Structure 1
């Protein structure tokens, strides 16, 4: 399919026989991405760190898609915990090929004060970046067996704050806003760097970066156990209707980035109007495309996770 050619996100191509894993599937973008893939016939591993919330999300997918059957599976995975990442990767790696990996899980509202995980990493960077770097590396051979694709979640925020390449975990000068932007610069830069390295090594896996625009809970359909915004949230989010969209629509871009055969590794996708709209090929912020920053980040991630990708 040609780039930016007409694409109906509500009528996906038949994905029967394909298998995808989505991190952070119990709500928001991850949930709706899962639902859209299942509706198109795919098998989906929905992952998250809460067993109860995962089961509620799986039940919702099956309730809203009666023919889903056993094509929806759940798997405990906490991307802030490297032990959890290793365990989940080992489980999936023993189940055959994987057509796609959507690296969606993340902390959107960081803590006001700097916190660290049990592995000693800053919690936002660990959750949004390190866990996904480790998971992608651990599942690389599984993806390669199916000539699969990985999609990293970018953000329009990457040009909104100064980035410090020498302190990605904000040991100094932490703030919640900076932590979020630092993590999103890193995920996008790593997504592009992954594609460069995969191409150079001749590995049959592509790496794409995509962002969902400005997608809010208050403009998203209510689903029991998945999305239950308060009346105040609905009111506030609807006041911003001109620059926002639902998380259901935000997932359109992520799903296209994951399944459209016409998309090539190293591309960047987002809503047509940047903050909302149909999926459209775009151009990420300059800092995320800087190879030197990406290479530095790659080394940081290798050191922090102990993971070396099997190129």
Structure 2
């Protein structure tokens, strides 16, 4: 399947094919829900999606899975070096670094703006020194670079039947909804790393602070105030999904089943948290493989029909 995707995308140079294949492998190993959704896309689209995922995951791992002995200062220096090299190579349109080759090729093919990548690097740096977000507005600054720009980068790859000014805010909102879902699923894991990705003022309305979260972490269960706070955060996240969903109809018909599937599967994670009575410390909420496949099978049928009906090339976003 990998060879077919690369051929369909017109990617023939051996080193470039190797780079894209590496990105695909990263996506398959670490983003099960996301990877499953990409199977709904046309083969020509998939390499670019894998490249963006692989790049984001690689940078995220620099921050979250540092080498032994790394310090916030050394990690910040490492990120700055990577960003400087990446932006220089991006301006050139090519790189001799196999880890950057695929994403730079994707950026060139789809004319992705460098400001989107700069924003992503900025949010990655925030993870090195910001451990709490006082308000929703503070969190939104972080989320623009870490989540919204991913939706904006994806938009040219997915194609749209609506003008960019209409489709872009919806794409950004979906990226935000996905990341908020991850934050809610990973409250306990993030807390172990010393981070809280939920607005402190909204948690405080339920009497939740770091001391209470620490108690929950020690006991492996969420108490009533924490469960109430999580319930409210889920409601906020569902409103963002509702804001994003009209954007699916603005996409090229071939891309709609993929994005709809991703939205459905990610929102099911919220369902699982609710099923656990909002106890995000008792275990990690996941969507079963059986459920993922059930959702995907229906989407695959819609995907095949869409490809037959809309065989023309996917238009660029204007």
Which has more helix, going by share of residues? 2
User: TM-score, with normalisation over the residues of structure 1?
Assistant: 0.31
User: 1 or 2, which has the higher strand percentage?
Assistant: 1
